[in-house]
Amino acid sequence: MNASAGSVLRFSKMHGAGNDFLIFDRRDGRDWPSADTLRQLADRHFGIGCDQIISIEADRDGHPGYDIRNSDGSPAAQCGNGARCVAAWLWRDGAVDTREFVMHSPAGLVPTTRDDDGRFEVVLGVPDFDPASLPMVDPDAPAVFEVGDREWTYRVCSMGNPHALIEVEKLDATDVTGIGSTLQHSGRFPEGVNVGFAEVLGDDHIRLVVNERGAGVTLACGSGACAAAALLIRTGRVHSPLRIDMPGGTLQVRWNGGGEPVALAGPATFVFEGEVPA
């Protein structure tokens, strides 16, 4: 499982509700592969294929850490499904052996709990609803944009990375790729934005699809699930805990509101291990 010195890069392929990752060990201080190499590894036709690539980092202050790159090679601050996969990787590796531990991420500390069934819950921080936190070019501008002859309204939330949420009546009848890409390329979000589309099924149940920056529409997005839950709970549309059905599986989000952090639970699955030239 560990990355060896020299010309070989060993990796683990994992997924959380279909949101898939290549995870490799960078605790020996090796450099990140180049952006071109990351794009080749992430390519589903000419590489291994993944939504994001995660490196296990050297401990800081006694806590294991991780870093994230999108499939286009750009850095990412946080990924909830990836955090759970890192937790499962660390447990399997023997780097952690307690039910509760803390991980370092680019977005900050991630308290983590393993339950009796081997599922992991990660606490991803306090949601920030200030548009300037994403950031946005004009935080005070109306949160409305047009696609064709229709207007779409969105709300924003930062979970360490930027999210916009659009509530829709019927998810299956929504062009999540086209609408999401239009907002992503609108020039409003200088660092990009993940665009979620939510269909409320009940007061504790939604469906969600996320068009992720740097990755496109994915089977699941953990930070997107947290952002959607926080936005919908905050406005009284749903309550906590919230079941979130995504194309790749089901996640659960807990949030008590106010300045409390959001917790995300769900599966973390090993697919296979392999090695590629470094």
* Residue pLDDT, tens place only, 146-158: 999 999 999 999 9
Predicted confidence (pLDDT) at residue 7 exceeds the cutoff of 90: no
Dist. CA 237–CA 152, nearest whole Å? 18
CA 123 to mean position of chain CA atoms:
13
Is 3 part of any domain? no
Q: Are 124 and 264 in contact (CB under 8 A)?
A: yes
Query: Residue 189 is part of which domain span?
Result: 131-260
Q: Are 58 and 73 part of one and the same domain?
A: yes
Mean pLDDT in residue range 11-28: 96
Burial 213-225 (b: 16+ CB within 10 A, else e): bbbbbbbbbbbbb
Active site residues: 79, 221
Is 203 part of any domain? yes
Q: Are 56 and 169 part of one and the same domain?
A: no
Is 185 part of any domain? yes
Give the predicted TM-score (pTM) of the model: 0.91
Domain count, the chain: 2
At 268, is the pLDDT very low, low, confident or very high (cuts 50, 70, 90)? Answer: very high
Q: Are 17 and 77 part of one and the same domain?
A: yes
Q: Are 113 and 182 part of one and the same domain?
A: no
Amino acid 172 reads D
Predicted confidence (pLDDT) at residue 219 exceeds the cutoff of 90: yes
Amino acid 252 reads Q
How many Cα atoms are found within 13 Å in the side-chain-facing hemisphere of 114? 18
Residue 61 belongs to a domain with what CATH number? 3.10.310.10
CA 225 to mean position of chain CA atoms:
8
What is the pLDDT, as a whole number, of residue 3? 45
- Reading the block at residue 171, the tokens are 């998810």
